[in-house]
Amino acid sequence: MKRINLHLITIVLTVLGLLAYNWQYSNETFVFFGFAENKETEIRLENPVIIDAVHVSAGSRVFKGDVLLQATRSSLELATSDLNHEVAKLQSQHKIWESNLKSNIRSLKAQKVARQSEIQTQIEQLESEISINESLIQGLESITTPKEKRVQSPNKIRIEGLKKEMRLVVKPLESEIKKLENELYTSKNPLKIQIEKLEHELGYVHQQEEKLVIYAPSNGVIGSIFCKVGEQLPSFATLITFYEENPTQVKSYVLESLLLNVNTGDSIIVQSGVQAQVNCIGQVIGMGSRIVEIPERLRKNPDFKTYGREVQIAIPSDNHFLQKEKVILKLKPKDYSVNFRSFDTAFNSETS
């Protein structure tokens, strides 16, 4: 009887222990591992260049906007010289054309003023004569002419003729002046169009020259330098490798039996493998397209090959992880539907 009771008690305790174990781990986070990585940037130029100056050395820390390197392109220098020469020649031609046009306008305006002044002088003389004659007539009280028999005087007729002549003389001059002024200030002048086109090309060349001064894209560390002053390099040759100051992503691997537990967009707790207080929240930004062998350093048992899917996790740049530091990744149960038995089986199969 005692033996039966002990047997039942042992069974009950075992069941309770398993339930407690299951409850405990089902509320823990799903754990896997990865490497913290700095984003590496290879700085290249798309054209052959000659290195003029290198302002940094491998391993040096730089800040965003610092000048790293300066280079030149002989083809750009030649293009700049040719374009500047052509622009200067056209500008000289334009100044001569503009000067001649302005001179013609001034001449026409002078002609207009002279003709107006000449005719106006004649009109004023006639008006003066009319005024004198009228005053003399008014002084002769004995001489009266009926209003109905009064006729327009010859001088007034001549004045009307002169005013008409002024209009006929001035109008063509004003039309020609207006035409020349429109020609002077129009944007469709062939020389102006050519100059603007060449200046646009020159601006493009200057933009290309500005690209030959390489600046640090952000705060970071210089990796390797693959060039030296005076060296001529081909298109797309790597000049400098640049690393961001802190890791910005984590490369990890999830066992193939647990693939359904991690999805793009999941929030991940990223914790240092050696400094428990160093951690941050990351987000899954990419999943590998195939099953690959998990790196030895991330295996529970390095002697046994295991396979899984690569997972890319973005992390904030203001962290304290080291480059290539092994980190612990945790996905809380509320963020996935985990089958404890499959996790336990996968974990045991890796460690066996």
Model pLDDT for residues 226-255, shown as the tens digit of each residue: 999 999 999 999 999 998 888 889 999 988
Alpha carbon distance 245, 40 (integer Å): 10
Q: How confident is the model at residue 1, as a pLDDT?
A: 44
Alpha carbon distance 344, 27 (integer Å): 14
Q: How confident is the model at residue 196, as a pLDDT?
A: 87
CATH domain 27-39+246-351 topology:
Elongation Factor Tu (Ef-tu); domain 3 (2.40.30)
| Tens-place pLDDT, residues 42-66 | 999 998 999 999 999 998 999 999 9
Q: Which residues of the chain have pLDDT under 50?
A: 1-2, 21, 23-28, 149, 335-352
Q: How confident is the model at residue 142, as a pLDDT?
A: 53
Q: How confident is the model at residue 12, as a pLDDT?
A: 64
Q: How confident is the model at residue 243, as a pLDDT?
A: 86
CATH domain 41-75+208-244 topology:
OB fold (Dihydrolipoamide Acetyltransferase, E2P) (2.40.50)
Q: How confident is the model at residue 74, as a pLDDT?
A: 85
